[in-house]
Structure 1
Amino acid sequence: MVEYDKQRKVDFVSGLTGSSVSDINRVSLALPLAIFLWSVLQSRLRVFSPYTPVALLVDVLLNCGVVLFAITIYASSSWLFNLLLALPAIVVLITSPSSSHRQHVSKPPSSRNSKDAPSDPLPVKPFVTHYRASMMVITCVAILAVDFRVFPRRFAKVENWGTSLMDMGVGSFVYTAGVVSVRSLLKTRSGQRPPLSARMVQSIRHSIPLLILGIIRLLSVKGLDYAEHVTEYGVHWNFFFTLGFLPPFVALFQSAFDYVPSYAVLSCAVAIIYQTTLDSTNLKAYILTAPRTGLLSQNREGVFSFVGYLAIFLAGQSLGTLTLPRQEPLPKDTPVTEVIRKSTLGRLVISACCWSFLSYIAISYHGLGLSVSRRLANLPYVLWVASYNSAQIAACCAIERFCFPKLYSARTHEEEIERSREATSPVLAAFNRNGLAVFLVANLLTGLVNLTIPTLDTTALQSMGVLVGYISIVSAVALGLDKLDLSIKL
């Protein structure tokens, strides 16, 4: 095992001021552009049907390799990299006619098939899969890439105030969990929600595996004397504890939903109350400067930032209520304003605009002038995460509508499933299916690499070699679990 200076590693990723929001947006644009290129290749050229080894390689390069290169060697040339992704898609669009009409031509439904017409109120939506999985991929890549010098320091987590790519990654992980968590709630009819006691029991069952993972991570980090930055979550707290405590608190807020029937309003209310408490009491100073003398003070970042992450989770649930339900067919003569208001894409665009406006008001000099702090998970951080993710999922929805316009017009349930499968990247579907398990594997591999390789002393070529091998292994694990038809729910 290669020895390295633990304090040197901690200093390498601490005390940073981050990067601008526009810089993060430019780099992050590679994610929807990669999905767009994949969708164009599939809808126009059928590159991924059948799914040959070459198609698998292209799929991994587009949806994993692009992310890796975007946040490392091309981070300073993001516009060039984005152009390199957009140009092939444009060329294919110009030179290849749409094949969607040939893909989905089917025989007139028989009386038996007509009874099987799609009726699932919560259909599988490829753009949601692409959005969630792309967030998981960039998170998995960043947690190891940050330990190498090829990863720009401005993208690493900031110390107290500012924005960075990794700060967004943490919030996005919670946000995406909120988006899909609302599926079980949408399946229940109004007025038939289980009682609080039943919801608490179910939520605790979901929490126990995550809390166990948190304890295992705590023991392994302390036992191996692994480099850690205590101002991230505290001395003992870690991200798995944050994820583990979310389900019970979300179950409690489902009762509040009876009085405030809007997850977006609940999210804003929680964030505003928390921000008011930070500004009107000594809580902010306590979190940032208090000595670590007791259990609470030692873990104050994790304990109090949990309130902000709860608001982010609720914001994700708000978007989930707009995204997951089936869109009802709209008459051809429907006014444009009604189409925007009632269509899934229109609602997502409106949501993204609203969250972005609120974020601007909170952060702008002409608004409240508040500073983003991932360490506090304050109001500006909550609104920034919500605006970023709502824009990302709206972009994924727009790509799907453009490339696969007839996706949800299938005549039978089986046909709809087949169309959805063809419009979904198998690599991203695999990441989405076992997201938390893949994230756990990525964490284990990250620890293994850091304990065996002096990451700070590797050259750019060596760093990229390790990172390519790492994301290849993570992708292989995700694809292997999917191939074995295993869904590991934690």
Structure 2
Amino acid sequence: MSRSLEESMAASYKSLKEDFVSNLAGGEIGEINYVTAVAPVAVILWSVFQTRQSLFTVYTPIAFLVDFFLNVGAILLAITLYADSPLLLNLLLIAPAILVYALPSNTPHKKKARPPGVAPTKGASSLSPLPKKPFLTTYRGCMMAITCLAILAVDFRIFPRRFAKVETWGTSLMDVGVGSFVFSAGVVAARPILKEQLANKTSRLSTRLYASVRHSLPLIVLGLIRLYSVKGLDYAEHVTEYGVHWNFFFTLGFLPPFVAIFQSAFQLLPSYEGLAVLLGIVYQIALEFTNLKVYILTAPRTDLLSQNREGIFSFFGYLAIFLAGQGTGMYIIPRELTKTIKTAPEHRQRLLITLAAWSSFWIVLFCLATNYSYGFGLSVSRRLANLPYFLWISAFNCTQILAFCVVETVFFPAAHRSIDTKAEHAAYQSSTSKVLEAFNRNGLAVFLVANLLTGLVNLTVPTLHVNNIQAMGILMAYAITLTGLAVGLDGYDISIKL
């Protein structure tokens, strides 16, 4: 690299730092937390309706509409009409929950479950060591719903600009959405590893790489389709987000092979969270003590690497996020955290304590990385996917999972106390929103349709020039179309794996 080019890049980087305050488009983390808290609060209201009135036991059209407005409509309101007053929206959801809970219950009384240690009746099926957990389905369903809503809402003026992805430094609602998508994928990626552990077998690296490449190919194809469609239709895009050719599908597609390689490193450092932190620190050191940060932010786009430098180098941060999610999945997916605990309530108590401990761990590390007084004073950057961004995403998602787990534990204790497969399936069905279950089941397929519909709307509607009433009408129609598709696929027992 020539000296003049280095000086030019350094000058550009200095200018970026000096203009940090004015360039900071993102909202405060506290505000983002208030907005995203709408999802757990809406789930509380859903849970009260179900436990006190059995509203969703028989899934009528009325039940579907209530389910939709609570778990999708409330999120849409939070990021549009109530964006400036999310606390008010949370209060409007909590108030009817308290009222309904105070009313006499219409739920038929159930027989008390047998105490721990009593054998199940003859013919009862043995419980799976890796059960479907309602709180995990709810977490993934809410994350997918808000992601699908935001990718279209951002094109309208009713969606606050501070919620859109920031240019370089800072935090925003859509920045947390991208990272959460990767973290959530990491959580469910723990299931195949847990199955191998239960079978006492370890697949070879070549086998893992082959399986991961097969999983990656559809995502790479989707990335190519998006690339050619965006370029061919001259669709508006921000080059500084991932680069000229790179997009989020490429990031998702390249994760599995690298995770397969890191699974071998697990033998040296037997902790996915430890591997994630180590990778995040090494990447941050490279950003701080080499020209890498300046190169990513200011280098001219002269070749394939420089044209896509944001997507290529931020991949290391997303890989760390994925590994952190995988580590979380390793302890929230299994039925038993440890063999020394015998009863289901004790297992749930241990899970809650573990989730709270890891949430605190990520929060403390994030504060240490970003605080200017007693920490390192680093700034969050989704564009770089640097260490503070990785820690923020991990802290946010662990806390969200903890919140959903607490809601399930309080309102649906039968979900983790079942004594046979039939009872567990019934408990799962009664404690899980069908809308959120549908978004979770075919999440990637629904996300792909959401991208196609977003492009269609932008090609046919001048989104920046419509008023708020028109924008809400379009967004509500879009939301109910996506939800209807997801619930329809689930109703016909169709799972689309990409």
Shorter chain as denominator, the TM-score bin is: over 0.9
1:245 aligns with 2:254: yes
CA contact (8 A) 1:327 1:343 kept: no
1:430 aligns with 2:401: no
TM-aligned CA distance change 1:110 to 1:355, over 3 Å: closer
After superposition, the C-alpha distances for 1:16-56 in whole angstroms (9 at most, x for unaligned) are: 52111001001111010011111111112111011111000
After superposition, the C-alpha distances for 1:307-364 in whole angstroms (9 at most, x for unaligned) are: 00000000001110111000379568x9xxxx59962111111111111111111111
TM-aligned CA distance change 1:343 to 1:118, over 3 Å: farther
Deviation at 1:489, TM superposition (A): 0.7
Distance 2:315 2:341 in 1: 41
After superposition, the C-alpha distances for 1:121-140 in whole angstroms (9 at most, x for unaligned) are: 10110100000010000000
Aligned pairs (5 A) from 1:410-489: 410-489=418-497
1:88 aligns with 2:96: yes
TM-aligned CA distance change 1:459 to 1:42, over 3 Å: same
1:205 aligns with 2:214: yes
Deviation at 1:93, TM superposition (A): 2.4
CA contact (8 A) 1:362 1:370 kept: yes
CA contact (8 A) 1:340 1:346 kept: no
In structure 2, the gaps of 5 or more residues are 1-21
1:359 aligns with 2:366: yes
Structure 1 letter corresponding to 2:360: C
Which residue matches 1:388?
Answer: 396
1:62 aligns with 2:46: no
Distance 2:119 2:306 in 1: 68
After superposition, the C-alpha distances for 1:58-117 in whole angstroms (9 at most, x for unaligned) are: 000001000000010101011111100111112222334595x82465799998844535
Which residue matches 1:349?
Answer: 356
CA contact (8 A) 1:135 1:172 kept: yes
- How many residue pairs are counted as aligned between the two chains? 472
Structure 2 letter corresponding to 1:431: F
In structure 1, the gaps of 5 or more residues are 1-13
What is the aligned counterpart of 2:144 among 136, 151, 159? 136
TM-aligned CA distance change 1:46 to 1:342, over 3 Å: closer
TM-aligned CA distance change 1:386 to 1:96, over 3 Å: farther
Query: What TM-score results when the alignment is normalised by the length of structure 1?
Result: 0.92
Deviation at 1:483, TM superposition (A): 1.6
Which residue matches 2:40?
Answer: 32
Which residue matches 1:267?
Answer: 276
Deviation at 1:408, TM superposition (A): 2.3
Distance 1:331 1:424 in 2: 26
TM-aligned CA distance change 1:479 to 1:165, over 3 Å: same
Distance 2:386 2:414 in 1: 42
After superposition, the C-alpha distances for 1:138-195 in whole angstroms (9 at most, x for unaligned) are: 0000000000000001000000000000000000000000001100100112761100
Structure 1 letter corresponding to 2:191: R
Which residue matches 2:18?
Answer: none
Distance 1:303 1:279 in 2: 17
Distance 1:104 1:233 in 2: 56
Distance 1:310 1:331 in 2: 36
Which residue matches 1:401?
Answer: 409
Distance 2:102 2:349 in 1: 31
Distance 2:428 2:118 in 1: 22
Distance 2:23 2:289 in 1: 26
CA RMSD for the aligned pairs?
A: 2.3
Q: Percent identity?
A: 56
Which residue matches 1:303?
Answer: 312
What is the aligned counterpart of 2:203 among 188, 191, 194? 194
Aligned pairs (5 A) from 1:16-55: 17-55=25-63
TM-aligned CA distance change 1:75 to 1:232, over 3 Å: same
Distance 1:442 1:466 in 2: 13
Distance 2:379 2:90 in 1: 29
User: What SS does structure 2 have at the residue aligned with 1:411?
Assistant: coil
CA contact (8 A) 1:118 1:416 kept: no
CA contact (8 A) 2:186 2:323 kept: yes
1:318 aligns with 2:327: yes
Which residue matches 1:281?
Answer: 290
TM-aligned CA distance change 1:469 to 1:458, over 3 Å: same
Structure 2 letter corresponding to 1:343: R
User: What SS does structure 2 have at the residue aligned with 1:122?
Assistant: coil
User: What SS does structure 2 have at the residue aligned with 1:127?
Assistant: helix
1:373 aligns with 2:378: no
User: What SS does structure 2 have at the residue aligned with 1:478?
Assistant: helix
Structure 1 letter corresponding to 2:237: E
CA contact (8 A) 1:16 1:156 kept: no
Which residue matches 1:219?
Answer: 228
CA contact (8 A) 1:16 1:157 kept: no
Which residue matches 2:19?
Answer: none
Distance 2:31 2:364 in 1: 19
Deviation at 1:410, TM superposition (A): 2.1
Query: What TM-score results when the alignment is normalised by the length of structure 2?
Result: 0.91
Distance 1:126 1:279 in 2: 42
